[in-house]
Chain A
Amino acid sequence: MELNTASSVISFARELEEESARFYESLSSQYPGDEETFLDFAKENRKFIKQFENAYYSVISDAIEGCFAFAINPDTYKLNNKPVAGADISEAIRRALEIEDSLVRFYNDAAEQSKSLLADVPRAFTLIAKKRSGRKQTLESIR
């Protein structure tokens, strides 16, 4: 089902962040050599949640098009975060890169569609997309 309201998009973003945080937490226990990096990512995910929630709750206002701003198809951003037990680390990194790609796409789309909201919301989405793009380099270096 398409997500149309700001509230449903924020909840969906929260789910995506939690899912990917759990994914990185599972990698941290499977690949102790890179534990710190994966745990840092998981921690940063929760910071992202705070960032977009703060933006949304600070500017959501009765006058803006909160209930009509979005047309997000959640299926387009489904994450494959199933455990990668026994797999080589390069397989885990490949999965992580897919997750990051999906999230960058989601945040960029959400930023584009939330332009009718006050500036803080699209700015928060864009910022998170940028930070997630930056993660890819770190992931590549592990591989």
Chain B
Amino acid sequence: MAVLEEPIKGIKNVKNYINGEWVESKGEIVDVVNPATYQTIGRVPISTKEEINAAVEAAKAAFPDWRRTTPLARSRILFRLKNLLEENFEEVSRIQTQEHGKCIDESRGESRRGIENVEVACGIPTLMQGYYSEDIAHGIDEWVIPTPLGVFGIIGPFNFPWMIPLWSAPYALATGNCVVIKPSSEVPFSQMKLAELAEEAGFPPGVWNVVNGGRTVVNGMLDHPDIVGITFVGSTPTGRDVIYKRCGETGKRVIAQCGAKNFMTVMPDCDVERTVTAMMTSFFGNTGQRCLSAANAVIVGDDDAFYRDFVDKIVARTSNIKVGYGLDESVQVGPLRDKAKKEKVLRYIETGIKEGAKLLLDGRKVKINGDYPDTCFLGPTIFEDVRPDSRVGSEEIFGPVMSIMRVKTLEEAIEISNANSFGNGHSIFTSSGKSAREYQYNILSGNVGINIGIVAPMAFFPFSGMKESFYGVLHTQGREAVRFFTESKVIIQRWF
């Protein structure tokens, strides 16, 4: 099968987008590497404090006019953006694959999910409406107006370079705020392309800004008094100890979506074939680098024959997964994003062996489709007899590793899932409504799946999370995002 054409040719330099201008950074420049070919495809700046300050100043200056732009007019710009995203759908998808490594189907899925948030935000004239009560006392009326707040910072992760800033930006902008986006410096091209399209769509200068970099940019956002709120997606230590804490100290609104360890509970009455298929994409899709990736398969019951048959089917299906460059359409699992991430997963595999788990499938012996260096590639790996309190069974690995556990009852499955410190996207596979309800009622997870491998909420629902997977109150996407990006201004009126 042919490899699709790469959209990024040669080595491309990434610039910042500040106040409607593409500007060179004075910061250090680092290489961006395609994880499949391990070739340098670009250079990205690690921007300075002055540069993040300039972006915030530009956004602050643009805010009063943008706020006065009618919701309908703001929505029309979003509609234009939506059309441009559709026109450039294939290019933006291939950029994601080239810079991140994910398979082309996954990148197209990511593009679609990003666009869906723009589509939902296009409804802002009604989404943003307040409400009114007449005669709350004699001759007095009261109403609430959702008003924008100013400048928001959006900090994106490496695993969904395109979609995740779109969980926030369309709502922030539609409600009349301005944004400064900091993409992951490992994958800056998706947000560069998005900013080009935003510029073409007609967002006024200063409304949409992108500043590339690392800690200096993040700290610059957290410290800046004119940033009123932050949305963040990344690891739990950074989300909890840096973003959430510092936003609390500086009085900023915050949404911090963090790590996960997702449990898939498999009941003996599940539809085996469809469960196995759903589990393939859940455990190994995006090379396990999703906060909604499954990590632990908890198989319920004391039916040994069912257990053995299910595990054998999982191993057989997984053994046939094609690993390679995501632009090869036949490939089902791409590389990990970089060498360090692969090494981290390799250490977990070694830990699993030391902890006494049984290695059923060893991804270290990966066969790569095509002629690519194995630098970032790792095949799907399956452990059996994993203890839920072991490191492999309890910590976030963020790679294509499945840990199989066995319990006697559904209660026990829920108990071990809830004992884990994370609560992001647990699922049950069953044909029993009773089991599904019991699971949904008792499980501590922000997003819950019933016969669903990846519990990714649609754009018109909040992307939830519990325990160490989420810090904040409101969530990104849909109505909750509209609430997050607006303050309720309450008016009480009487005329003499």
Is B one of A's binding partners? yes
**A contact set with B: CB distance below 8 Å:** 1, 3-8, 11, 57-69, 116
Q: Are B110 and A62 in contact (CB under 8 A)?
A: yes
Interchain residue pairs A-B with the least CB separation, the first 6: A62-B109, A66-B105, A8-B329, A63-B456, A68-B280, A67-B332
Q: What would 13 A/B residue contacts be, using CB atoms closer than 8 Å? A: A3-B1, A5-B105, A7-B103, A7-B104, A7-B105, A62-B109, A62-B110, A62-B285, A62-B454, A63-B452, A64-B109, A65-B278, A68-B277
New A-B contacts (16) at CB < 8 Å, excluding given A4-B330, A7-B329, A62-B160: A5-B105, A7-B103, A7-B104, A7-B108, A8-B329, A57-B112, A62-B110, A62-B285, A63-B113, A65-B277, A65-B453, A66-B109, A67-B103, A67-B281, A68-B277, A116-B278
Nearest CB of A to B313, in Å? 13
Neighbouring B residues of A62 by C-beta, 8 Å: 106, 109-110, 112-113, 160, 163, 285-286, 454, 456
Asked whether, in the complex, the Cβ of A116 is within 8 Å of the Cβ of B112, the reply is no
Q: How far is the CA of A4 from the CA of B330 in the complex (A)?
A: 7
- Which A residues touch B285, using CB under 8 A? 62, 67-68
Are A61 and B112 neighbours in the complex by a CB distance under 8 Å? yes
Residue among B113, B280, B286, B329 making CB contact with A61, cutoff 8 Å: B113
Q: Which of B58-94 contact A (CB under 8 A)?
A: 89
* Contact status B112-A4, CB under 8 Å: no
**Contact assessment for B112 and A6 in the assembled complex, using a CB-CB cutoff below 8 Å:** no
A58 to B452, CA, bound (A): 20
Which residue of the partner chain, among A8, A61, A66, A67, contacts B1 with CB atoms under 8 Å? A8
- B364 beta carbon closer than 8 Å to chain A: no
Interface set, chain B 309-352, CB cutoff 8 A to A? 322, 329-333
CA distance A69 to B453 in the complex (A): 13
A residues near B1, Cβ cutoff 8 Å: 1, 3, 8, 11
Smallest distance from the beta carbon of B312 to chain A beta carbons, Å? Answer: 18
Question: What is the distance, in angstroms, from A59's C-beta to the closest C-beta of chain B?
Answer: 7
* Most chain B Cβ neighbours within 10 Å, of A4, A64, A68, A116: A68
Give CA–CA (A116, B332) in the complex, Å: 16
Query: A60, B103: Cβ atoms under 8 Å?
Result: no
Q: Across the interface, which residues of B come within 8 angstroms of A58, CB to CB?
A: 112
- Contact pattern, B 267-279, Cβ under 8 Å of A = 1, otherwise 0: 0000000100110
Cα–Cα distance between A116 and B456 once the two chains are bound (Å): 16
Are B456 and A6 in touch, CB under 8 angstroms? Answer: no
Q: Is the CB of B105 within 8 A of A63?
A: no
Q: Which residue of A lies closest to B281 (CB)?
A: A65
Give the most central of A6, A7, A57: most B CB within 10 Å.
A7
